Amino acid sequence: MVVVLGVCGSIAAYKAADVASRLVKLGHEVHCVCTPTALQFVTPLTLMTLSRNPVVSSFEEETGSWVPVHIDLAQRAEVLAIVPASANTMACMAQGFAPNALTSLYLAYRGPVLIFPAMNGAMWEHPATQANAATLAARPQHRIIGPAEDGMLACGTTGKGRLVDVDYIVREITAPMQ
């Protein structure tokens, strides 16, 4: 299965490396597409090594073919999994904004979209984020999985907002194709 793993700017971005590694070990073809902010949390070299494919993070990297990489991946992917999904990326997706390679790929993609939110609890509970999540969840083939119900967050508070467990993420990504 061809998986596009979208990685957003969240402290939980480091867990995307584990997700990529596990999917590759299960025999899947994984392509990481990162928002610019994601690269402040995890390096392209880490994701490239674990996914065994180049990492896409900007349009400037799309010079190898006449078909832009984000369009090619949107056409070949069997699932798009956003791990972790930030409030900003969810807002862009909900409203159809495409300021980066990941959100542009999202607009060109027509298959299953799995969104795994991870953010501060107050950000998750904000009415704007909840409205964006509802908009996304209402779209065909879209699922929002998480965030985890309760726990210690990176910001030191306790509440809803943590990324769901990596084992669960991998099961959810591979489930439609088993």
**Where are the chain's structural domains?**
2-177
| Gap between the Cα atoms of 177 and 55, Å rounded | 24
The answer, yes or no, to whether residue 155 has pLDDT greater than 70, is: no
Of the candidates 32, 34, 92, 155, the residue annotated as catalytic is 155
**Is residue 32 annotated as a catalytic residue, yes or no?**
no
CATH class for the region spanning 2-177: alpha beta
pTM: 0.92
Using CA atoms, how far apart are residues 44 and 53, in angstroms rounded to an integer?
10
Lowest mean pLDDT among 69-83, 122-136, 140-154: 140-154
Confidence of residue 69 (pLDDT cuts 50, 70, 90): confident
End-to-end alpha-carbon separation of the chain, Å?
A: 10
pLDDT in tens, 21-64: 999 999 999 999 999 999 999 999 999 999 999 999 886 665 66
pLDDT for 170 equals 98
Beta carbons of 100 and 36 less than 8 angstroms apart: yes
What pLDDT was estimated at residue 154? 60
